Amino acid sequence: MRLWPRKSRLNRLSPYQLLLVLLMTLLAVFMLMPIVFLFNHAFKPMHELFLYPPTFLVRDATWVNFLDLLTVSKSTIVPASRYLFNSLLTSVLTVVAATFISILCAFPLSKHQFKGKTLLFSSILVSLMFAPETVQIPRYYVISSLGIVNTYFAHILPMVALPVIVFLFKQFIDQIPNDLLESARMEGASEFRVFMNIIVPLCIPVVATAAILSFQSAWNNLEASQLFMEDETMKTLPFYVSTLTSGLANSVARQGVAAAAALLMFLPNFIIFLLLQSRVISTMAHSGIK
């Protein structure tokens, strides 16, 4: 039995460390404020949405904005559930395809030697600098040439090649000892078995990060619905939300619907990040990104 209580961790910190903890706490609170505002804004009644000065926290929370969102969707030809189904289907398929293809690309870049390897990896790094708008015309030409306009493939295919995910996988696989792979090959394991039984299990933290990044890209993607889809039933939820919220900058009508729709678009990304955030931290610690 201890006669004296054990000192807390804060008491064991130096003044500099205490100052750093305080600054990081204040920064975390500051970065959390937009999320808190988004949640509160979606539940504000109409009279609170236009208060001046605006309020940060909701006073009289209400579900009216979400009910109005459902009411608006019932009056359209295509129900909101169809847009939601399209978004969920394409996002899940994009996550699976982008993750598997990225790790297939990263493995030879990291552990094999072949002609043009440096040039190929350099081109992947350079592609990180391109804004999405710069490749819209070439992307439309490719989709049109493949004949997959107005299909789910047009939603998925442009999102499969994500250079940042390939980079993360490559940097993480670099940390895997070559001796481990060589010992497996000496035991008679094929290259595919080495990939599936060693590389993939060890890359689980990066898989979580890749899932977050690819899901965010697919879930928030408007380009495919605007450029590649002619049939309204093939469009996704972000496109439907954009039609509800477009032109509302100087309008009073549907401001509550816009607030509810913004929260609806944000929630899936937020939930997935909360579930996988520990894996993201592990990935960044081993991928050369500080």
* pLDDT per position as a tens digit, 182-239: 898 888 888 889 999 899 888 888 888 888 888 988 998 888 888 898 888 899 988 8
- Helix (H) or strand (E) segment spanning residue 23: helix 15-42
28, part of any domain: yes
9, part of any domain: no
127, part of any domain: yes
CB 98 within 8 A of CB 159: yes
Across 127-151, b (16+ Cβ under 10 Å) vs e yields eeeeeeeeeeeebbeebeeeebbeb
Question: Do 51 and 91 belong together in one domain?
Answer: no
172, part of any domain: yes
Question: Do 52 and 106 belong together in one domain?
Answer: no
Domain boundary among 67, 84, 104: 67
48, part of any domain: yes
Number of domains in the chain: 2
Question: Do 80 and 118 belong together in one domain?
Answer: yes
Structure tokens that stand for 59 in this block: 């006073």
Question: Do 110 and 237 belong together in one domain?
Answer: yes
Boundaries of domain holding 56: 15-67
Dihedrals phi, psi of 232, to nearest 5 degrees: -65, -30
Q: Cα–Cα distance between 90 and 225 in angstroms, integer? A: 12
Q: Which of 82, 70, 89 is nearest to 244 (CA)?
A: 70
pLDDT tens for 234-285 read 999 888 888 776 655 445 566 777 788 888 888 888 888 888 776 666 655 5
The top-scoring range by mean pLDDT among 1-5, 43-47, 279-283 is 43-47
For residue 50, the SS3 value is: coil
1, part of any domain: no
Question: Do 212 and 84 belong together in one domain?
Answer: yes
**Helices 237-245 & 255-286, crossing angle to 10 degrees?**
140
- Helix (H) or strand (E) segment spanning residue 184: helix 178-186
